[in-house]
Amino acid sequence: MNWLVNVVVVFLIALPGWALLAALKMPAAAMMGAMVASTLFAVVGLAPSGPPFGLDLALQVILGLFIGLRVTKEADRIVREMGLVSLLASAWWLSLPLGLGWILYRFFGMDLATALLGTVPGGLAEMSLMAFSFSADAAMVAIMQFCRLASAMATIPLVARRLSRSKGMGQEVAARQERRKRKKDLSLPALGATLLLATTGGLVGKGLHIPAGAFVGALAATGTASYLGFRLAAPPKIVRDLAQLGLGSIIGLSATAETMRLLGRIFLPTLAITAVMLLWGLALALMVRRLARWNLMTCLIATSPGGITQLAAISEDLGADPLRVSLLHLVRLFTIYLILPPLIVRLAG
């Protein structure tokens, strides 16, 4: 009974923050609003001392499932044609952020794992999950990632609208129609099979002690099945929002008064790092456009240091190719997941 009460409390204390950021139309409102609210409750001692057993694993499975469902047969063709672009983007988004993370570690008193996880653009939820695996400051990682995400979400659409002259909307319209068609075909058996597959993959990933193993395992399992053509179904969007809400609340529970003091000390460096990363992404977009001949809107959004979920969502509205945007960000994420964990172990060891 106490476990169930704690689960309910974890979500309840997150709701005010979600409502506030959603009203302000902030990116990732569910997760960041929850984190802000639960951080305040944790700092004043009015929140549970830690996450209820198994809740973080369930949330990882749900978030991994949603990304895994993006992998399709069409993705295979596009991945082959964007091989050089993928290598460039992966190297691009590891080199500078690792250097910036080292600066935070060397000159601003931040532990190495927190500094690297906070600066590498691996996704707000994903890097925060990985922070738990390395005993890093998950709240600080999330705050730093949020600064990057919020800045990207605020500036990239403005820059894209100003610079883009592309009129090619055919691919995007077709993609939207195909997604709508798939949504009509959804069924409860397909949804049940998807949840079972993701849960199994998550448990395997957790059992293998992979960093953020439940997330990576669920992503790999559903991604493989989706690519092979099995009939899968995504849960309603509210499920993803609730997963982000719960994860944000869990992250906030780890905050302390010391976290708040450290944030005050690195606020200006974090802003400077965010600005540098936005310019770094813009330079990459221009290089990708030259190499791949994609329209400028797709290049800008696909190379932005933002979150895959949020950027994939706005790509349709801005006239970019959502599949290419999602795939290039997925390649970036996979590269980071493969390289960053052993790198942190080696450097911290």
Number of structural domains the chain divides into = 1
- Per residue in 72-90, pLDDT tens? 777 777 777 788 898 898 8
pLDDT at 171 over 50: no
CB-side neighbour CA atoms (13 Å) of 325 = 30
pLDDT at 154 over 70: no
Mean pLDDT of 312-328: 74
pLDDT at 203 over 90: yes
- Concatenating the DSSP letter of every residue in 129-166 gives HHHHHTT--HHHHHHHHHHHHHHHHHHHHHHHHHH---
Q: Which of 110, 148, 105, 109 is nearest to 127 (CA)?
A: 148
Q: Are 118 and 96 in contact (CB under 8 A)?
A: no
pLDDT bracket for residue 316 (50, 70, 90): low
Range scoring the smallest mean pLDDT among 24-38, 62-76, 145-159, 175-189: 175-189
In degrees and rounded to multiples of 5, residue 322 shows phi and psi of -60, -35
Q: Is 166 left (phi over 0), alpha (psi -120 to 50) or beta?
A: beta
In this prediction, residue 67 carries a pLDDT of 77
How is residue 92 written in tokens? Answer: 């691009």
Domain span including residue 273: 2-348
| CATH number for position 172 | 1.20.1530
